[in-house]
A and B are shown apart, each in its own frame.
Chain A
Amino acid sequence: MARITYVEFNGTAHSVEVANGVSLMEGAISNGVPGIDGDCGGNAACATCHVYVDGAWTGKTGTPNEMEDAMLDLADGKRDNSRLACQILASDDLDGLVIEMPETQH
């Protein structure tokens, strides 16, 4: 179980609990957190779950694989700490993680 805080582009924060093994995209959608669409259902194939992860956490969240990288490349507002939320699975290690959302999903 991890408590994840999703911060919308306008600064509104939503703090929800996501069960271990569930992706952070699913965690947002099933809890009604706006700003993440998840159009492909979590296949790293749509890039509508684009988020920014604080650099201090990358050791725990891992880094994107080739497919994720290619998709992120097509997203608006890509940054060095961009990730697809569907490719990060919640675990006890991620308890307290804060992720920010881009202005829009594309």
Chain B
Amino acid sequence: MATQPSLGAEAPISHTVSREDYEYVWPLPPRRRPPLKDYSAESLREYLATAPLDEVDIADPMYWETDTHWTFFKRLRDEAPVHFTGVNANRHRGYWSVTRWADIMAVDTNHQIFSSDAHLGGITLFDMDQDFIMPMFIAMDQPKHDVQRKAVNPIVSGSNLQAFEALIRSRTQEVLDGLPRGEEFDWVDRVSIELTSRMLATLFDFPQEHRRKLTWWSDIATADPEVPGNLQKEERQAALLGMLQEFMGLWNDRVNDPEPKGDLISMLAHNPATRNMPPMEFMGNLVLLIVGGNDTTRNSITGGLKFLNDNPAEYAKLRANHGLIEPMVSEIIRYQTPLAHMRRTALEDTILGGQHIAKGDKVVMWYASGNRDERAIENPDAFIIDRPRARQHMSFGFGIHRCVGNRLAELQLKILWEEILARFDNIEVVSEPERVPSAFVKGYKSLMVRIPA
């Protein structure tokens, strides 16, 4: 074991390394991992059950790809609900993990102290590339955030969604009717991605035949350039600039219309608050809307099917009573928590959960943990489709950055399940899903299923 990396070697720190003191190099220094015989789910689970809390860097994608992070978060909630991670600080500068519901709520609603600003690093655990800052309204503070958000708010307002309902339903029907019977296929590709990309193309009024580009941009925007197979950093930036260019074309077509049409690009192009956005800001907001409308719903569509298969009694309850679709949709979104965290930067010294947070510290709200906090939710590890007050989950976040598309997401999922139940008595998951290696997007790469013939 002497040749294994020792986790005790790094000088311990107790606050985020300031951006001035942080020596940024690319590629990042190699990730330090615990010296285990292998990194299988089984070994990782065993390790996390007893590892010293300070040794674990839960941002490591391997814990997410193997779905093993749960044990660690439960330990943090019980033993160290506001906890600093210094391991691998040469990669992420060090961060606080906030894991209890009440503490997450306190951070999410305190916009004066906890900033989302892209220029401080933004809203994910890993800072935005400093040479490629994409301002977007989710990564802005007040007052600019409010003005930009309001420019897109109307498209996902309750009354506007009613207009979308028939369209979403007919598309869902079409996609479901095209599924094979008696043969294995990938639910992620055939259903989750298909439906979300069609919806997104509609929202942007983007050519439907090119809708998979939206999926691709969404994936690369959040993909870790270090994970083998993903685009390198420069390739990723080039791809996003390509996206910007395509959307500039749509913008230019629409900016001179006498009246804005109902799509998001027209709305941004015509709203005085957003019509003069610099290109990088336009790109940032595109990334936000694409990722926001794509990854999250996609992974809830996949997760829901998986959870029902894992819990046959719940699936039976649903078959017997379609009236449970609505609470089930909220329960799926809680149970999946498609975005595992959001991050803030402290603007001043403060106390949180008894810990001293210093100005400049990174504070990570682990929604995936808050949604399983037994202090706020009864029996939180169980998937219960008729849970009382199912809407009380934190997957959409709270405060001024709360998900703007939440009602649309719920509508898409509701229609999907109505149409599934109208057609298929059962959809069987035939193997374990392949998961996304990311501590941010909590999702699935594939899920093989079969609809009995």
A104 touches B158 (CB 8 A): yes
A74 touches B391 (CB 8 A): no
Closest Cβ of chain B: how far from A71's Cβ, in Å? Answer: 7
Closest to A70 in B: B400
Closest Cβ of chain A: how far from B66's Cβ, in Å? Answer: 31
Contacts from A to B (Cβ < 8 Å): 29, 37-41, 43-48, 67, 70-71, 73-74, 76, 103-106
B109 touches A38 (CB 8 A): no
B159 touches A104 (CB 8 A): yes
Q: Quick one: given A40-B392, A74-B153, A106-B157, are A45 and B402 in contact (CB under 8 Å)?
A: yes
Q: Is B146 close to A, CB under 8 A?
A: yes
**Residues 402-413 of chain B: 1 if any A CB is under 8 Å from the residue's CB, otherwise 0?**
101011000000
Closest Cβ of chain B: how far from A39's Cβ, in Å? Answer: 5
A45 touches B158 (CB 8 A): no
B391 touches A37 (CB 8 A): yes
Contact residues in B for A47 (Cβ distance below 8 Å): 402
A48 and B161 alpha carbons, distance in the complex (Å): 16
A46 touches B402 (CB 8 A): yes
A4 and B242 alpha carbons, distance in the complex (Å): 56
Q: Quick one: given A43-B105, A104-B407, are A70 and B142 in contact (CB under 8 Å)?
A: yes
9 A–B contacts from the bound complex (CB under 8 Å): A29-B389, A39-B392, A39-B396, A41-B392, A46-B402, A47-B402, A71-B399, A74-B149, A106-B407
Closest to A105 in B: B158
Closest to B393 in A: A39
Contact residues in A for B164 (Cβ distance below 8 Å): none
Q: Is B150 close to A, CB under 8 A?
A: yes
Closest Cβ of chain A: how far from B281's Cβ, in Å? Answer: 20
Closest to B158 in A: A104
A46 and B153 alpha carbons, distance in the complex (Å): 14
B400 touches A76 (CB 8 A): no
Contact residues in B for A48 (Cβ distance below 8 Å): 391
A105 and B407 alpha carbons, distance in the complex (Å): 9
Closest Cβ of chain B: how far from A26's Cβ, in Å? Answer: 11
B157 touches A38 (CB 8 A): no
Main secondary structure of the interface of A (DSSP, over half): loop
A96 and B333 alpha carbons, distance in the complex (Å): 38
A47 and B396 alpha carbons, distance in the complex (Å): 12
A38 and B109 alpha carbons, distance in the complex (Å): 15
B108 touches A45 (CB 8 A): yes
Q: Is B398 close to A, CB under 8 A?
A: yes
A40 and B117 alpha carbons, distance in the complex (Å): 24
A76 touches B109 (CB 8 A): no
A90 and B391 alpha carbons, distance in the complex (Å): 23
Q: Quick one: given A39-B391, A40-B392, A67-B109, are A45 and B159 in contact (CB under 8 Å)?
A: no
Add 14 more A-B contacts to A70-B400, A104-B157 (CB < 8 A).
Answer: A39-B391, A39-B396, A45-B109, A46-B396, A46-B398, A67-B109, A74-B149, A74-B150, A74-B153, A74-B402, A76-B159, A103-B158, A106-B153, A106-B407
Q: Which of B153, B396, B402, B407 has the most CB of A within 10 A?
A: B402
B158 touches A106 (CB 8 A): yes
Residues 153-167 of B at the A interface (beta carbon under 8 Å): 153, 156-159, 161
A45 and B407 alpha carbons, distance in the complex (Å): 16
Question: Which 9 A-B pairs give the minimum distances between C-beta atoms?
Answer: A104-B158, A45-B398, A76-B157, A39-B391, A45-B109, A45-B399, A40-B398, A41-B392, A70-B400
Q: Quick one: given A73-B146, A73-B150, are A43 and B398 in contact (CB under 8 Å)?
A: yes
Contact residues in A for B402 (Cβ distance below 8 Å): 45-47, 74
Contact residues in B for A44 (Cβ distance below 8 Å): 109
Closest Cβ of chain B: how far from A23's Cβ, in Å? Answer: 14
Contact residues in B for A67 (Cβ distance below 8 Å): 109
B400 touches A40 (CB 8 A): no
Closest to B142 in A: A70
Closest Cβ of chain B: how far from A25's Cβ, in Å? Answer: 12
Contact residues in B for A43 (Cβ distance below 8 Å): 105, 109, 398
* B400 partner, pick from A29, A38, A39, A74, beta carbons under 8 A: A74
Contact residues in B for A71 (Cβ distance below 8 Å): 399-400
A104 and B105 alpha carbons, distance in the complex (Å): 24
